[in-house]
């Protein structure tokens, strides 16, 4: 019977685990909804900014702006430093979500290093920072304060230093590694180059604007906003992606726990039945011996 009691204990444990994972699934679902709303709400700003920059950028204007200019390669005396921003979540239990982001970041870092750059890594979120600390790689920034509600100000404080360093010609490029929120189930890790700014694809017909003061001055103001917004969106999408991944992971865990419980209960019942059968046959055997 000792085995029976042990089985009972295991069933209890798995039932408790299932309770926890199911609760986490529900919490993740409701947080996913809110995070998703934020992703959608951030779209008009990004779109307006993109359209206007596309309207204003002309090839000859592009040469004037340090943020649009491509630096010389290191072999010709250009900057040898490149920056990578990695956005991960502060928490785990989301399957391979963070591991995938970290893998993408390492791939990009290796690429840059193979091209002869020294890479400085800016980490947002505890998981990414923790991994690279474990590898003893120094971090240029370690932001764990941003959490699940990134604001435009967070993004601004993150990129201000990078924009200044890029304008000063110290950085050759800045890449952002984040989770793209395609749907709650698809959140592929993505790398975008945020500096130099790729001017958004040109629209065919641009309105004949009255510009005050002039296209150059407006662009100068808007380009940093654009860079900031790309980072902001990356962070918001990563949060939504995280909850999507967590929900899936917790749903799988709950389903698994159910299967294990079913299996254990079956084993337990079979054993109980076997014990009873054995006892009965012992009694019957005993009685038969007495009668005989």
Partner 1 sequence: MRVLVISPEAAVFDGEAESVVAPAYDGDVGILPRHAPFMTILGEGILSVRHGGQTSRFRVQGGFLQVVSNTVRVVAEHVQGETNAA
Using CB under 8 A as the criterion, which residues of the chain lie in contact with partner 1 when the complex forms?
38, 41-42, 44-45, 48-49, 52, 55-56, 151-152, 155, 207-213, 217-218, 221-222, 225, 228-229, 232
Residue closer to partner 1, measured from CB, 158 or 264: 158
Written in H, E and C, the secondary structure of 167-190 is: HCCCEEEEEEEEECCCCCCCCCEE
Residue closer to partner 1, measured from CB, 20 or 152: 152
C-alpha 79/C-alpha 183 separation (Å) is 38
Q: Calculate the dihedral angle through the C-alpha atoms of 192, 201, 240, 166, rounding to the nearest 10 degrees.
A: 40
C-alpha 101/C-alpha 177 separation (Å) is 7
C-alpha 265/C-alpha 276 separation (Å) is 16
Length of the chain: 292
**Considering the complex, what minimum distance in angstroms separates the CB of residue 226 from partner 1?**
11
Residue closer to partner 1, measured from CB, 149 or 266: 149
**Considering the complex, what minimum distance in angstroms separates the CB of residue 220 from partner 1?**
9
Residue closer to partner 1, measured from CB, 24 or 230: 230
Residue 164 has a CB neighbour count (10 Å cut-off) of: 12
**Considering the complex, what minimum distance in angstroms separates the CB of residue 77 from partner 1?**
35
**Considering the complex, what minimum distance in angstroms separates the CB of residue 179 from partner 1?**
19
Residue closer to partner 1, measured from CB, 44 or 292: 44
**Considering the complex, what minimum distance in angstroms separates the CB of residue 51 from partner 1?**
8
């Amino acid at each position: 019977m000792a085995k029976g009691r042990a089985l009972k204990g295991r069933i209890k444990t798995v039932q408790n685990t299932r309770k926890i994972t199911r609760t986490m699934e529900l919490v993740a679902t409701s947080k996913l909804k809110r995070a998703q709303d934020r992703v959608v709400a951030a779209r008009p700003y990004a779109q307006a900014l993109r359209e206007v920059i596309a309207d204003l950028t002309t090839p000859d204007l592009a040469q004037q702006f340090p943020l649009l200019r491509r630096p010389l390669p290191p072999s010709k005396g250009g900057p040898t430093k490149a920056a990578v921003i990695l956005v991960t979540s502060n928490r785990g239990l989301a399957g391979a979500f963070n591991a995938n982001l970290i893998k993408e970041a390492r791939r990009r870092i290796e690429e840059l290093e193979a091209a002869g750059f020294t890479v400085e890594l800016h980490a947002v979120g505890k998981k990414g920072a923790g991994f690279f600390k474990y590898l003893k790689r120094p971090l240029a920034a370690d932001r764990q304060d941003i959490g699940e509600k990134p604001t435009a100000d967070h993004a601004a404080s993150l990129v201000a230093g990078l924009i200044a360093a890029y304008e000063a010609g110290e950085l050759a490029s800045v890449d952002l590694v984040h989770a793209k929120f395609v749907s709650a189930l698809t959140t592929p890790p993505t790398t975008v180059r945020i500096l130099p700014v790729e001017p958004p694809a040109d629209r065919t017909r641009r309105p004949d604007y009255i510009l005050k003061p002039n296209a150059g001055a407006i662009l100068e103001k808007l380009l940093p906003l654009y860079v900031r917004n790309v980072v902001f969106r990356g962070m918001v999408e990563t949060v939504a992606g995280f909850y999507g991944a967590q929900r899936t992971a917790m749903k799988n865990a709950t389903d698994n726990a159910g299967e294990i419980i079913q299996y254990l209960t079956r084993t337990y019942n079979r054993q109980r039945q076997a014990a009873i059968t054995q006892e009965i046959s012992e009694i019957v055997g005993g009685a038969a011996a007495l009668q005989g």
